Amino acid sequence: MQARKDKQVNDMVEKEKIYPLIVDESENIAYISDPETYEVIYLNQAMRETLDLALGEDYKGRYCYDLFQNRKTPCPFCTNDRITKERFYTWKHYNEKLGKYFKLRDKLVEIDGKDYRLEICVDITDSEVHNKDLERQLSAEETVVQCIHALSGNEDMDVAIHSLLEIIGGFYRAEHAFIYECNYSENTVSNTYEWHRKDLMSRKEKLQDIPMEYVAQWKEHFEEEEAVCFPKYCEEGEARLPEILQGLGVRRHMAAPIWEETSEKYGGEKKIAGFIGVDNPTKDIEQVSLLHSVAFFVSNDIYKRRMIYKLKDLSHVDALTGLGNRNSYLEKIEDLKAAHLKSLGVVFVDINGLKYANDHFGHPYGDEMIRSVAQGIRRYFPEYSYRIGGDEFIALYIDGTKEEFEERLDGLRDYAEDECICDFSMGVNFGRGNVNIEEQIGYSDSMMYVEKQVYYGSVLDGRRLQHKALARKLVRDIEAGRFEIYLQPKINLETGAMVGAEALMRREGEDGEILLPDKFISLYETEGVIQYLDCYAFEEVCKLLQEWIKSGGTPVPVSVNFSRLSLMGSRVVNRLAEIRERYEVPPELLVIEVTESVSQMEPRALKGLMEDFEKYKFVVSLDDYGYQYSNLAILINMNFVELKLDKSLVDDLKSNPKARIVVENSIDMCRRLNQVISTAEGIENEDQLNILKEFHCDVGQGYFFSEPLPREVFLEKFGGHHVF
């Protein structure tokens, strides 16, 4: 009975009271609720559609804060205590459930003697979003202006950039703002500038010298976009926060690239110098373009300031060594004259044989000598070290103990003996109290001169000096990977099958160019250090053959060239056998190539060498036959398995009848000399190949088949024994 009565009341409210109230606002959404219980008693059709209520789905009895706001308790922004019957209360609100902005008009209306809340809602999302976008844009532009002022208003670059980062951190309400810079020579990236919220700790030290591959995601996105935000695409799975940041509690990361122009030497293009950004921003994260704008001004400012600093430093820093130059030294001396010194140690250094090195090996090598000496001086006297002339240096040790000074000198002497690529003379002096700077420096200079005269008295032509220097540099270049083995296939001319390969050395020059052996081998032979390179080549070939075998392939014999000087060393063949044994390479896979100059060895030494080859089962090949002279006696006295005809004979095969006679008879001689394999070098065209086939030459190599290839390329192309 009561239920029927309630229904009648509701029907009456809807039909007689509510409809007239909203007829003028029918184009907007509206509802009526009980302000005391928050129960909804009416929704107009527009409101039903907005809430996406299904046909017949009842809303009565539900609370307004649940139905409209998806809340479990009354809204903290509810206006029930502010509305009256006399006028509408107007306000704005963003409805998170509906994702829209509304202009709201609230009023109390009386129905059957009871006050109800009427709310009419006007959707203003489009205009509000537009206004907020304008506000954000204006705020971002103002922030950029502040950043520009921060950069231009501080002469100290560190202070200027910290102020800029503080502005950016505040704009985004972030935890950290930062700049990372790339070091392409070390292939690393480091956090060079940082601002952090006062309640947080700095993490700058944890983000130094990061391998470049760890931040590859940054570069990948920078090349496609102006700025990036990780994780921007997490829902789509297209990008995730780089792992290096996850361990530091970073949940969101925004960054923009800092670009720099490369020099004409590198194409004059832009490259990424670093990036600027924020971590865990909580405001305006969609304004990534702000970072891009700031990055532009930062890159210009850093470049400009560094150019100024560089120009300033150039007048005080030696460009070749990085030590102080003569200007810097003279200024320091003037400062010391006005100071009260407790003690002063002076080290005067002069490089021995720099002119000889420049004349015989070129100025790039002389520069390397200068840098090597400077490295030692800087290591043991880092405070005050100067290059005051072409081959002269001075180091000052100010207000220290004599014991410490002597320890540093001992370190520098050890460096000269064990690490420096050249010799240098030193004059040293240490004084306490009432120091006369000019007298001490003059005395050190005199002592250095005496040591230099003693040195040149024992080394009249400078050759021992250069042998030591060149040997050290050669070993260092080998350790630095500046030498590389190339391989050229040797082809059976009858079948076209690869039956061997020759290992040929290549060297990386000072400017990165690849140098052929004729550019460096003769120098190493002249200075008596070629044995280091020959043994290195032999060991590299052993490594190659070991890898080839372990990979399941079937390697072919590889020839290694040896200088006569290398083979004259004590127990050299024994050492080669030990290397071969260490890599478990079968003897038949290694061929030692020697030239006819080996016949110049003293007869007993040559005989001993051949006996050692036979004892350790080394296969020996005679290389460059016919290059300058052909010592037929060597073919009688030595057991070669191969005779290689020099390229100069092969070049003239088509046009020179005499060359054809020599080549044909040499090949015939090989067949008669215990079946020695005849190999023709330098085959470059089909005419040469056909003539050699006609003479029944066994093996050939040259550009007609393949140029020498780096080991990886050779294995990829010929590891499966491709047939020509």
pLDDT at 483 over 50: yes
Confidence of residue 462 (pLDDT cuts 50, 70, 90): very low
The fold of the 130-314 domain, in CATH, is Beta-Lactamase (3.30.450)
Question: Span 693-699, mean pLDDT?
Answer: 94
pLDDT at 432: 80
Chain-centroid distance of CA 126 in Å reads 48
d(CA 117, CA 125): 24
Beta bridge pairs of residue 247: none
Per the CB < 8 A criterion, the answer to whether 128 and 29 are in contact is no
pLDDT at 376: 94
The fold of the 326-468 domain, in CATH, is Alpha-Beta Plaits (3.30.70)
d(CA 38, CA 59): 12
pLDDT at 373: 93
pLDDT at 164: 84
Confidence of residue 628 (pLDDT cuts 50, 70, 90): low
Higher pLDDT, 509 or 189: 189
**Phi and psi (nearest 5°) for 255?**
-155, 155
Model confidence pLDDT, tens digit, residues 202-256: 888 888 988 888 777 777 777 766 667 766 533 433 445 566 677 788 888 888 8
The fold of the 2-123 domain, in CATH, is Beta-Lactamase (3.30.450)
Q: Which residues contact 279 (CB under 8 A, 6 or more apart)?
A: 174, 175, 176, 177, 178, 245, 248, 250, 252, 253, 254
Token match 């998170």: residue? 96
pLDDT at 606 over 90: no
Q: Domain-by-domain residue ranges, the chain? A: 2-123, 130-314, 326-468, 481-718
Confidence of residue 699 (pLDDT cuts 50, 70, 90): very high
pLDDT at 297 over 70: yes
pLDDT at 460 over 60: no
Most confident of 114-128, 148-162, 385-399: 385-399
pTM here? 0.44
pLDDT at 585: 93
Model confidence pLDDT, tens digit, residues 259-280: 876 554 444 567 788 888 889 8
Q: Which residues contact 692 (CB under 8 A, 6 or more apart)?
A: 493, 650, 653, 663, 667, 680, 683, 700
Output the average pLDDT for the chain: 80
User: What SS3 class is residue 253?
Assistant: strand
pLDDT at 17 over 60: no
pLDDT at 408: 93
pLDDT at 139: 56
pLDDT at 45: 81
Task: Residue count of the chain, please give it.
Answer: 724
Structure tokens at 378: 């800087």
pLDDT at 490: 95
Model confidence pLDDT, tens digit, residues 98-142: 888 888 999 999 888 899 999 998 888 877 666 666 556 555 667
Which class in CATH covers the domain with range 481-718? Answer: alpha beta
Share of the chain above pLDDT 90, in %: 24
Token match 């308790």: residue? 73
Token match 């907007």: residue? 28
pLDDT at 442: 67
Which H/E stretch holds residue 509?
none
d(CA 681, CA 675): 19
Confidence of residue 169 (pLDDT cuts 50, 70, 90): confident
Higher pLDDT, 19 or 62: 62
Model confidence pLDDT, tens digit, residues 553-581: 899 999 999 988 788 776 789 889 988 99
Share of the chain above pLDDT 70, in %: 79
Q: Name the least confident of 79-93, 158-172, 293-307.
A: 293-307
Which H/E stretch holds residue 490?
strand 483-492
d(CA 203, CA 214): 17
pLDDT at 377 over 90: yes
pLDDT at 459 over 50: no
Question: Span 327-350, mean pLDDT?
Answer: 86
Confidence of residue 304 (pLDDT cuts 50, 70, 90): low
